Amino acid sequence: MSKYGIKITNDIIKIDMGIRKIDHLKKILKHKIINSQWKVKFNKNPTKRDIDTIIKIFDKKLEIEVLRRTSYIQGFTKLVNFLRIKNIKIGLTTGYPKNILNLILKKMRLKGFRPDYSVSSSEVKRGRPHPDMTLKVMKKLNISTPSEVIKVDDSLSGIKEGKKAKVHTVGILLSGINLAMSKLQRKKLKPSSLKKLRKININLFKKVKTDFLIDDISELKNLINYKI
């Protein structure tokens, strides 16, 4: 957006996080704040050529940033160890295209993690919020009963994907895209600020009828043991 002189906020970006990147871009360009800026600057709506150019710029930048920034969120390694002990299979779905997913998986493998199956939005007919990716993971892992599946996500589109696949859904309130901070960083926030952010996210996840809510990924272990 900055290359086109368009000012954008994280709140606008986060609205549709998790869906296919080209679909995400189209939704951003239709947002009234972004669209009005574009019309003032270019005296027209964005064309297909504009969208294709922007997504090429984004993809090049994304490849660099994924390699530089991708890391495990706090508690992930312990959770994976727990799931392996319980013999619970791990599937991965993402709104990133296949080439970006491969970069992420390569970096994860270097740290010792391999999901049992992974699928990107470019490998299915329909991306989020449609259930295609979750259903493909279930098929590949020979899981026919939706109630045996837990879909964990920090994005509303990911939760919608799980709801349409009729699986259990778990929303993450205080990590991932909702609040990109570690537990240590969160502790430095004023209790009132953290409480306010948490309440906002609770309301957002409730609107899409999320089955369970946890603050961060480390709490999933307890949820599996006692709730599901």
Q: What share of the chain is helix, strand, coil (3-state, %, to 5)?
A: 55, 10, 35
Residue 117 dihedral angles phi and psi, to the nearest 5°: -160, 145
Query: To the nearest whole number, what is the mean pLDDT of the chain?
Result: 91
Residues 63 and 101 sit within 8 Å (Cβ to Cβ)? no
DSSP state of 122: G
Structure tokens at 17: 């996080």
What are 45-61's pLDDT values in tens digits? 999 999 999 999 999 99
Residues of the chain with CATH 3.40.50.1000: 76-226
Q: Is the Cα torsion angle 187, 192, 193, 194 positive or negative in sign?
A: positive
Q: Domain 76-226: give its CATH architecture.
A: 3-Layer(aba) Sandwich (3.40)
What are 69-91's pLDDT values in tens digits? 888 887 889 999 999 999 999 99
Residues 67 and 93 sit within 8 Å (Cβ to Cβ)? no
Does pLDDT of 180 surpass 80?
Answer: no
SS3 131: coil
Residues of the chain with CATH 1.10.150.240: 2-69
What is d(CA 218, CA 206) in angstroms, rounded to the nearest whole number?
21
What are 6-41's pLDDT values in tens digits? 999 988 998 888 899 899 999 999 999 999 999 999
Confidence (pLDDT) at 174: 84
**Nearest-10 Cα torsion for 193, 194, 196, 200:** 140
Does pLDDT of 182 surpass 70?
Answer: no
Task: Report the pLDDT averaged over residues 96-118.
Answer: 91
Confidence of residue 197 (pLDDT cuts 50, 70, 90): confident
Please say whether the structural domain 2-69 has been given the CATH code 1.20.120.50: no
Does pLDDT of 228 surpass 60?
Answer: no
Residues composing the chain: 228
Residue 95 dihedral angles phi and psi, to the nearest 5°: -80, -10
**CA-closest candidate to residue 81, choices 218, 208, 179, 185:** 218
Q: Which residues pair with 93 in a beta bridge?
A: 119
The model's pTM is 0.85
Structure tokens at 203: 């309301």
